[in-house]
Chain A
Amino acid sequence: MIELIAYIFLGIGGACALIGAMGILRFPDVYNRLHANTVVVVGGVIMTLLGAGLVAGLSVYSLKTLLIAVFLFLTNPVGAHAIARAAHKSGVKLWPRSVVDKLEEEEKR
């Protein structure tokens, strides 16, 4: 039973990683691609880690996978935020068909 759940987790993880990679290729600009990046990290990597932890059972290894998942949870949003903020500050334009940019309006004011 636990093994079945673990394989479902691994399957979801693999699918999310693949779809996220497609998103990184398809989306038009930095900011949209970062959304696809989040799909890869949360859906892909963390689900894979949890699945691997379940396969290993309660041991040092599953503790490690859990810890790695926690650290990814803490560091990924910081990294994504830093990339997006740096991109906007250095003047990377939004996709031309984007509907609104309140931050740019705010900075011009």
Chain B
Amino acid sequence: MTGGKLLVAFVCLFVAWVALTGSLDIQELAVGAIVAALVALLSHELLFKRPMREKFGAKRWGYALAYVPAYIWAEIKAHAGVIYRILHPRMPIKPGIVEVPTDLRTDFGITGLADSITMTPGTLSVEVQEEKPRLFVHWIDVKAVEPEQTKAAIAKPFERFLTKVFG
């Protein structure tokens, strides 16, 4: 198990190194192998805490692909909102930290949701609680405080896909 993790980490790091240096020179490859091995040794234990239970089948890939346009659309809307708030002379912000419960149960799913929320301007996950999974999200324009409503407004656009991909 540990050996497998080590190998996966090494291969990923080495491939990234080769792609970033963009050369197949023997010196570059040797340095890359050494660095990748060192980093893999130090970090492979952190990579996967629990293995994914189910197989990553065609249906999950489909939902993962469908997530991309939905995510880009959410990103465009969020950018427009924050840019409007920055440029408006009176700066119409109404910030606050709200609680957002989530249906996601796996580490991958919760991480994906928290990252997606943080990557869209206007919402920023400040704290993640694992038992009774929920996020505390800093929201630049608080429209609702009740957990059910914040969930519908902040988490739903991402959760719809992430539950199907990661569970």
Contacts and interface: CB of A to CB of B under 8 A. Distances in A.
B86 to A, nearest CB: 4
Contacts of B120: 38
Interface residues of A, number: 43
A5 interface: no
Contacts of B140: 32, 35
Contacts, number: 122
Contact of B142 (A32, A38, A100): A100
A19 B99 contact: no
Nearest to A20: B86
Contacts of A19: 83, 86-87
Nearest to B19: A67
B38 to A, nearest CB: 19
B79 interface: yes
Given A63-B22, A100-B97, A35 B87 contact: no
A90 to B, nearest CB: 12
Interface of A: 16, 19-20, 22-23, 26-27, 29, 31-32, 34-36, 38-39, 42-43, 60-61, 63-64, 67-68, 73-74, 76-78, 80-81, 84-85, 88, 94-95, 98-104, 106
